[in-house]
């Protein structure tokens, strides 16, 4: 798979940080169309369950983001429901999935 560019590598660092802070199975970060970034880990409560990507998208949207350029998910499932949330807001955004070491597992460029 390809290497990440500098901006996507920043998302990887943020996603790995969220993963480490939460101790969960995945972490995610998104970059909005203004260049702002949002990171989150998965949420696992009896009353609420969000994948890390869903949580990052929710943080971005609740902060006023109107679109996304890219998302990086570390340790997430290929069928992460957060991908649909990213696509709903920005069909052209790229979504990159990596393992915990940062090796790219999949990259889907929107369009």
Give the domain extent around 34.
6-101
Q: pTM here?
A: 0.94
Q: Is residue 109 part of a domain?
A: no
CA–CA separation, 109 and 111 (whole Å): 7
More confident residue, 35 or 77: 35
Q: Is residue 77 part of a domain?
A: yes
Pull the structure tokens for residue 41.
């880990």
Q: Is residue 1 part of a domain?
A: no
pLDDT in tens, 27-58: 999 999 999 999 999 999 999 999 999 999 99
Q: How far are the Cα atoms of 1, 9, 38, 103 from residue 5, in angstroms, in the given order?
A: 13, 6, 18, 13
Q: How many domains does the chain have?
A: 1
The answer for residues whose C-beta is within 8 angstroms of residue 10's C-beta and 6 or more apart is 31, 37
Percent with pLDDT over 70 in the chain: 97
């Amino acid at each position: 798979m390809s290497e990440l560019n500098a901006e996507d590598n920043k998302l990887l660092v943020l996603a790995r940080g969220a993963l480490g802070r939460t101790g969960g199975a995945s972490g995610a970060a998104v970059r909005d169309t203004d260049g702002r970034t949002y990171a989150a880990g998965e949420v696992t409560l009896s009353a609420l369950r969000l994948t890390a990507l869903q949580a990052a998208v929710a943080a971005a949207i609740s902060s006023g983001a109107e679109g996304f350029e890219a998302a990086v998910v570390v340790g997430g499932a290929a069928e992460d429901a957060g991908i649909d949330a990213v696509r709903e807001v920005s069909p052209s955004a790229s979504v990159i999935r990596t393992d915990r070491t940062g090796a790219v597992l999949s990259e889907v460029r929107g369009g």
